[in-house]
Amino acid sequence: MAIVDGLIALFSSWQAVLFTILGTLIGLIGGAVPGLSSGAMISLLIPVTFYMGPLPALAMIYAVSKSSDFGGSIPAILFNTPGTPQASATQIEGFPLTQQGKQGKALRTAVIASAQGDFFSELLLIFGASFLAVYAARLGPPEFVAVYLCAFIVIGSLLGKSLITGMLSVILGLILSLVGTDPITAGERFTFGNFHLLDGFGLVPVLLGVFVLSEVFEKVGERFSANASAAIAGTPKSRDDSRLTWPEYKRIFPTICRSQVIGSGVGILPGLGSVVASFVAYSEAKRTSKTPETWGKGEIEGIAAAEASNNATSGSNLIPLLTLGIPGSTSAALLAGVMLIHGVEIGPRVFQTSYELIYGLFAAGLLCILTYLVVGYWGAAHLGRMIAKIPAQVVYPIIFLTCYIAVYATEQEVFDMVLITIFGLLGFLMKKIGMSPPAFIIAFILGPGLEETLRQTFLLSDDGLLFFLQRPVALVFFGLGAIALILRARTQVRNSRKERAA
């Protein structure tokens, strides 16, 4: 089996194993820091991957993205402050349990549900991605143009505060991806005579600026409520208050199974993400519950639903990346950036050109799940209280300095330090006006791919845009994009009417 080859590739490299475990711990700690997103953590680590082999680099980044999904639930349960946006659903039921002295039960429910949902999603990735890649490899440039455009429409319409701001985020990312040298004519584009821009904007200063520095700017002057005194934790009354009993696990098992399917399905669709998955699964579990009156007061079934679906997106997010070259989430887009840095081809041919590397990455995902299950089951509460003692006034200045050190160490260019500042301010401004930094980054990374396939399409035929009418698969993707656009516009109009009526 291919995954056996992946396990051999992983455990044949002590560096890959070490950085998988290290990435898992970094993700847990970073996820437990309120306001520090997985995108910010990964962006900080990308400069480090320049000095690593492809498998250790990809394994560490993948592990950070997976374990941070669970890590965000730690402060949500203990301090009523979600470490990541997707942990907001966990917070609803988790913090009431902490007030009752059942924080141990809540945390262990969260880690078990997270690991089970993550494992299901990883199996779906391992056995489903290569199967889909066989069919995706048969697609030509016109079909990939349609896939790109469909993905941009879906991502822009869903990730922005509104349809307009979301699409503007995508358009801005596409425009900035054109800066540099024309790949065919070798002419300069939008460089304004600056030789530093001949290769375009560097990926590292863009990522660190938009994701990390903008977070620092946003948090300046703010104080976190997540501190040791914020949690009104009760005292456990019995041994069962600090563990998940077998009868309780049997009761929530069907909810976990249903939620991991929801999470995996949502994860495959580009742009929706784990926040949508966690709230959809939570709402569905509450709707089908036999005791809806206990929800909102500390129901472990709600924690299980939110966490299983939340983590089930992590593996399935990679399916569109590895089969179509379209990242399904911000973390997948950043992983794609690391793959490009190490010369790994993105798309269906990756299973042929980088067979051992990809299955080694899948094996690293399994090791990551096992690691955060063990660490989270016995150490989550201790980790949460340790993080709570570190004031934001200490964390964010360190992150600020780390950004500039990392971006300068990459190319030793002062110009990159100017770029990171510009993109940090851009990311801050985008958040203030409702634009979407993740949509911007995904478009920025995928822009060259869209340009390449579009030019190849026009070289194949002199019919121009009419050539797409002769490609049924391309028309299907164009149709899906149009439907997504119409549905989003319809929903937005309906919501605005309700607000006016209210």
357 vs 208: CA distance, rounded Å = 26
Give pTM, 2 decimals.
0.73
* C-beta separation of 100 from 234 below 8 A: yes
Written as one string, the DSSP assignment of 152-201 is HHHHHHHHSSSHHHHHHHHHHHHHHHT-EE-TTT--EES-TT-GGGTT-S
Closest to 125 measured CA to CA, from 427, 283, 351, 401: 351
Torsion on CA atoms 334, 336, 338, 342, rounded to nearest 10: -170
**Does residue 151 have a pLDDT over 50?**
yes
Q: Find, among 51, 60, 62, 72, the residue nearest to 23 by Cα.
A: 60
Contact of 369 with 66, CB cutoff 8 Å: yes
Fill in the amino acid letter for 454: L
> What pLDDT is attached to residue 230?
45
Tokens matching residue 317: 């997010």
Q: Which residues contact 147 (CB under 8 A, 6 or more apart)?
A: 139, 324, 325, 326, 477
What percentage of the chain's residues is helix, strand, coil (to nearest 5)? 75, 0, 20
On average, the pLDDT of the chain sits at 81
What count of residues does the chain have?
502
Judged against a pLDDT cut of 60, whether residue 227 lies above it is answered with no
Residue 363 has pLDDT above 90, yes or no: yes
Q: Measured between alpha carbons, how far is 331 from 118 in angstroms, rounded to an integer? A: 15
Please determine, for residue 56, whether its predicted confidence score (pLDDT) is greater than 90.
yes
Per-residue pLDDT tens over the stretch 80-109: 766 666 777 788 888 888 888 888 888 899
DSSP state of 270: T
Alpha carbon distance 129, 311 (integer Å): 18
Residue with more model confidence, 307 or 147: 307
Q: What is the pLDDT of residue 388?
A: 60
For the record, the structure tokens of 197 come out as 């821009």
Asked if the model's pLDDT at residue 486 lies above 80, the reply is yes
Phi, psi (deg, nearest 5) at residue 238: -155, 170
C-alpha torsion angle, residues 325, 328, 329, 331 (rounded to 10): -50
Neighbours of 77 (CB within 10 A): 33
Q: Are 126 and 113 in contact (CB under 8 A)?
A: no
